[in-house]
Amino acid sequence: MAGAYTLLYTSTYEAAVSPSSLTPSSPDIGYWTGSFTYTPTWSGIPVTVSVGTGPDSNGIAWIWNSIQGWDGPDVSGQVLQRAADHGGWPAAQYYAPRAITVSITASAPTQALRDVARAQLQQVIPVNDLATMVYNEPVATQAQVRRSGKLTETYPTLYDVTFTCVLIAPDPRKYSAMLQSQTTTAVGGLGLTIPATIPATIPAGSSPGSIMAYNSGTFETRPQITVTNVSGGAVASPGLLNATTGQLVSWTSLTLQPGDVLYADFDQRAGYYNGAYRPADITSSWWVIWPGYSTLEVAGAGLQMVCAYRSAYL
């Protein structure tokens, strides 16, 4: 029928919006768990965000939506075109820093706690430093990462916020979350005259400090070794030998007095004597721990070696 009509309807607004359905009723388990941990230099107190393990102390549930780049790093290098010929020459090629893109949703009980979650994630992923990112797949592995570009935020509901961020891991390796540490003390030298020919022979009655290191990963890892003179006298010419590969790092001009400490970082390929930089001999060959078992030895009677390392993966 022709005419004018009036439509009446009622709209109800609920001031208290219930938490999002994204809030898990029980902690997530399996592959989608992990964490970010960062210790700000200005506080010294670690900040940790655990993902996929259920609500935290603030009642915020962190949910890992996706992670890209954890499968393998890119490479850096090229093939050079041959001059006046077909094909090319393969130049040196290495793994590049690992780029990782993560998407994480924080589901909070209130809008105020949603903003607490925003502040937490902004703090735990630094710009000019490195945080520890752990991902359980289901074997827990970790990488040192920092932010690359903008940390974006979207808001599915009033109580939820979804973060997307690109992370850069300067070291392309994924490391075991478990740190391995082994200790040994030498009661004799390696019987080496530097420069030496490897493999070396050890004279009768001499017993270098030896450990059997095991890298359960798929790629080489680089240890940090601390050598301490625990004897009652001076020890000259300390050395660190990978007996499996026959490579030696030595300091023939160095004499360790009782209590002296020599620290060797095999990733930086640098030595530190009582905290001060001390280069190794120019003839040294900085070695790595390949997958499987490796025999590592310290030269110098009375020297204690503590070798710390993590299994590495790509």
d(CA 248, CA 281): 10
DSSP string, 196-252: -PSSPP--TT---EEEEEEE-SSB-B--EEEEEE-SSS-EES-EEEETTTTEEEE-T
* 157/112 Cα distance (integer angstroms): 13
Q: Is the Cβ–Cβ distance between 171 and 145 less than 8 Å? A: no
pLDDT tens series, the chain, 314 aa: 555 555 554 544 444 444 444 444 444 443 579 999 999 888 888 999 999 988 999 999 999 999 999 998 999 989 999 999 999 999 999 999 999 999 999 999 999 999 999 999 999 999 999 999 999 887 899 999 999 989 999 999 999 999 999 999 999 999 999 999 999 998 765 544 444 444 444 433 346 789 999 999 999 999 999 999 998 899 999 999 999 999 999 999 999 999 999 999 999 999 999 999 999 999 999 999 999 999 999 988 889 999 999 999 99
**DSSP-derived secondary structure for 59-109:** SPEEEEEEEES-S---EE--EEEPTTSSSEEE---EEPPEEEEEEEEEE-S
Q: Which CATH number fits domain 33-172: 3.40.50.170, 3.30.360.10, 3.40.50.920, 2.40.30.200?
A: 2.40.30.200
Query: What is the pLDDT, as a whole number, of residue 199?
Result: 45
Give the integer Cα–Cα distance in Å for 190 and 87.
49
Q: Which pLDDT value is given to residue 84?
A: 93
pLDDT for the residue 188:
61
pTM of the model: 0.80
Give the pLDDT of residue 2: 59
Query: What DSSP state is assigned to residue 17?
Result: P
pLDDT at residue 187, rounded to an integer: 79
> Six-digit token pair at 122?
């902004």
**Domain parsing of the chain, residue ranges:** 33-172, 180-313
What CATH number was assigned to the domain covering residues 180-313?
A: 2.60.120.860
As a whole number of angstroms, the distance between CA 260 and CA 238 comes to 12
